[in-house]
Each structure stands twice: as C-alpha cells, then as structure tokens.
C-alpha cells in the first residue's frame, strides 16, 4: 500500500487531469507511480516533462532504459526496475541485455562507459573526476550526450525516490533486485 494516497485519474481536474490523460494515452494505463506523484501537480508536471524531454534526446530509448535499470538496482527501487525492464524490452532490448544493464554491465563498450559513469554518479553522489568524464569522451560521447546521461540519472533518482519513499505498489511484471 502506498504511503500516500494515489490520485484517481477519473476524479482529477484541470492540468493534473490533462497530464494523467497524456500518461494513460502513452502507456494504455496510468502507472501507480504517476498516480502517487500526481498528488502534486507541480511534481507530476516535472516528472512527465522530464520523460518527454529525455525521450526526445540524443541517447535514444535503448540506452535510456539501460541506464534506468542500472540506477534502479543501485537505488534498490523494485518499481523502476520492473517498469524500465518492461520498457527496455518494448524498445527492442533482450532480457539478457536488460539483466546485464541491471548489473551496470554491457557487451557494448560505449554503453558500458555510460553505465559505469551513471552508476558512479549515484554511488559517489556526483563526486566524479575529470578522468570519469574523459572516459565517456573516449567511448564516443560528446558533451551534449554526457550532460544527457547525467539528466537520465537525475530523473531516475527522482522516480526511484518517489517509489521507494512512498512504497508505491509495483504494477509491472516484477524483476528481482540483485
């Protein structure tokens, strides 16, 4: 049971209803995470805008989902691990690829560099070195993409904290944390 009441999209009004309708149209359902953060129109708006902005970014859905599962496992967020594993498979990634990403691993060197950096950002609370950024450049990421990796991490920390702090019920097929 969620620690705060989940908003019923049918009873929402105004801008909150509009955003929840967009979310429902995108997913075919309104995931519990959005119903929970939807108590605040500002927080809902921020979260949804973040997904929209990064979805239109340079990194693409596949790498975005791999980063998401690595961060979810690092932060012990069962909800985001389940949701992003499903979304990653929907983006064309195999179960094996998603399981590797959950562990912060990839068979692709460029993806591995991004995952290593993303996990380090979380574990070191953003206290990284010039060498950490340089490793991304050597792997082929430009400054736009490096900033976008950080943005993916930040959005995933927000969603992880939402789900863990409020004990949001998982409404995606469950995946075991490592």
* Residues 99-122 pLDDT 10s: 999 999 999 999 999 999 999 999
User: Using an 8 Å Cβ cutoff, are 9 and 35 in contact?
Assistant: yes
CA–CA dist 120, 57 (Å, integer): 22
Question: What pLDDT shows up at residue 25?
Answer: 98
Question: What pLDDT shows up at residue 144?
Answer: 98
Question: What pLDDT shows up at residue 73?
Answer: 98
- Which among 24, 41, 39 has a CA at the least distance from the CA of 165? 39
When the pLDDT of each residue in the chain is averaged and rounded to a whole number, the result is: 98
User: Using an 8 Å Cβ cutoff, are 45 and 15 in contact?
Assistant: yes
Q: What is the pTM of this model?
A: 0.97
CA–CA dist 35, 5 (Å, integer): 8
Question: What pLDDT shows up at residue 158?
Answer: 98
How big is the CA angle at 170 (ends 75 and 12), to the nearest 5 degrees? 110
Question: What pLDDT shows up at residue 105?
Answer: 98
Question: What pLDDT shows up at residue 121?
Answer: 98
- Which among 47, 57, 48 has a CA at the least distance from the CA of 147? 57
CA–CA dist 177, 145 (Å, integer): 28
Question: What pLDDT shows up at residue 141?
Answer: 98
Question: What pLDDT shows up at residue 130?
Answer: 98
User: Using an 8 Å Cβ cutoff, are 131 and 101 in contact?
Assistant: no
Which domains does the chain possess? 14-55 (no CATH), 60-165 (1.20.1290.10)
Q: What is the pLDDT of residues 33-78, one digit of tens each?
A: 999 999 999 999 999 999 999 999 999 999 999 999 999 999 999 9
CA–CA dist 63, 93 (Å, integer): 10
Question: What pLDDT shows up at residue 164?
Answer: 98
H helix intervals, the chain: 14-27, 32-37, 41-55, 60-74, 78-90, 95-102, 109-123, 130-139, 143-165
* Max CA pair span of the chain: 51
Quickly state the pLDDT bin for 150 (edges 50, 70, 90): very high
């Amino acid at each position: 049971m969620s620690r705060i009441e989940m908003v019923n999209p049918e009873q929402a009004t105004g801008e909150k209803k509009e955003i929840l309708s967009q979310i429902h149209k995108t997913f075919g359902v309104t995931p519990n995470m959005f119903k929970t953060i939807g108590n605040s129109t500002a927080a809902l708006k921020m979260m949804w805008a973040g997904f929209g902005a990064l979805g239109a970014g340079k990194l693409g859905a596949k790498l975005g989902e791999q980063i998401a599962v690595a961060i979810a496992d690092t932060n012990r967020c069962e909800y985001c691990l389940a949701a992003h594993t499903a979304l990653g498979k929907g983006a064309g990634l195999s179960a094996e690829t998603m399981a590797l990403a959950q562990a912060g691993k990839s068979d692709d060197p460029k993806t591995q560099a991004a995952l290593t950096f993303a996990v380090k950002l979380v574990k070191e609370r953003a206290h990284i070195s010039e060498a950490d950024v340089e490793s991304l450049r050597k792997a082929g990421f430009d400054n736009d993409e490096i900033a976008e990796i950080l943005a993916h991490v930040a959005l995933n920390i927000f969603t992880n904290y939402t789900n863990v702090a409020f004990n949001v019920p998982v409404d995606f097929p469950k995946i075991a944390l490592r």
